[in-house]
A and B are shown apart, each in its own frame.
Chain A
């Protein structure tokens, strides 16, 4: 069964450094998302992406965040200058034909900012 994959599974970085989290959505899906979950808290929406554009972003998704679909398979989340409070599990998700379809989530990347 097709799956969303994410790399790396765990990333440790120093405060102020840039990180890029990578995702490969399910191949025939057109809608892509990033969510995050701070330890012990709810899963929170960050951004959605369709047709090479951001469709919606939350108040969390400020200027330090950016997303990109650099080729036909990858979808990336860049955090330009990491802060301690960016430490969280970051989940990529995709859905097939619309925002109302089932969203399928990847296994996550655990980001630790020291």
Chain B
């Protein structure tokens, strides 16, 4: 059974800092990995999707990498801003249709 773990559970940084969020998964037989952002009491906003054949994807200040063989992904946020404060979730898609989610990393960027 696929298990997804995110470290750290919470992170507090000053504005402007570059930061890395980590995601690991137990079964490397995945099709893709998706990173989401969740604001308190809100839905999930898709940030990036990396296919299993890709090593990384970039969108603006966000860069996600994938090392399928070791079961790891990282989300790099450059020049963090207070508006980046949210919970970041990673989810993997293996066989079938379901996404399996991690617990999330709660990020606070202090002005």
The 6 closest A-B pairs by CB, nearest first: A48-B97, A45-B98, A107-B43, A105-B44, A99-B97, A43-B101
Q: Which residues of B in the span 39-62 have a Cβ within 8 Å of any Cβ on A?
A: 41-46, 49, 51
Beyond A106-B43, A107-B43, is A42–B101 a contact (Cβ under 8 Å)? yes
In the bound assembly, the distance between CA atoms of A103 and B46 in angstroms comes to 8
Say yes or no: is B93 at the interface (Cβ < 8 Å to chain A): yes
Select which of B32, B91, B102 is within 8 A of A100 by beta carbon: B32
A74-114 contact mask (Cβ, 8 Å, vs B): 1 or 0: 00000000000000000100000001101111111010000
In the bound assembly, the distance between CA atoms of A44 and B89 in angstroms comes to 12
In the complex, the answer to whether A99 meets B96 with C-beta atoms within 8 Å is yes
Give the B-binding residues of A (Cβ under 8 A). Answer: 4, 31, 33, 35, 42-45, 48, 50, 55-56, 58, 91, 99-100, 102-108, 110
In the complex, the answer to whether A100 meets B101 with C-beta atoms within 8 Å is no
State the Cβ distance, A104 to closest chain B Cβ, in Å. Answer: 6
State the Cβ distance, A29 to closest chain B Cβ, in Å. Answer: 13
Give the tally of cross-chain contacts (CB within 8 A).
56
In the complex, the answer to whether B96 meets A56 with C-beta atoms within 8 Å is yes
State the Cβ distance, A44 to closest chain B Cβ, in Å. Answer: 8
Select which of A45, A91, A99, A102 is within 8 A of B46 by beta carbon: A102
Could you show 5 A-B contacts with beta carbons less than 8 Å apart? Answer: A42-B101, A45-B98, A45-B99, A50-B97, A107-B43
The residues of B that contact A43 with a CB separation of less than 8 Å are: 44, 89, 91, 99, 101
State the Cβ distance, B93 to closest chain A Cβ, in Å. Answer: 7
In the bound assembly, the distance between CA atoms of A110 and B43 in angstroms comes to 11
State the Cβ distance, A97 to closest chain B Cβ, in Å. Answer: 13
In the bound assembly, the distance between CA atoms of A44 and B98 in angstroms comes to 9
Beyond A33-B97, A45-B98, A45-B100, is A107–B42 a contact (Cβ under 8 Å)? yes
State the Cβ distance, A39 to closest chain B Cβ, in Å. Answer: 10
Please, which residue of chain B has its CB at the minimum distance from the CB of A108? B43
In the complex, the answer to whether B51 meets A100 with C-beta atoms within 8 Å is yes
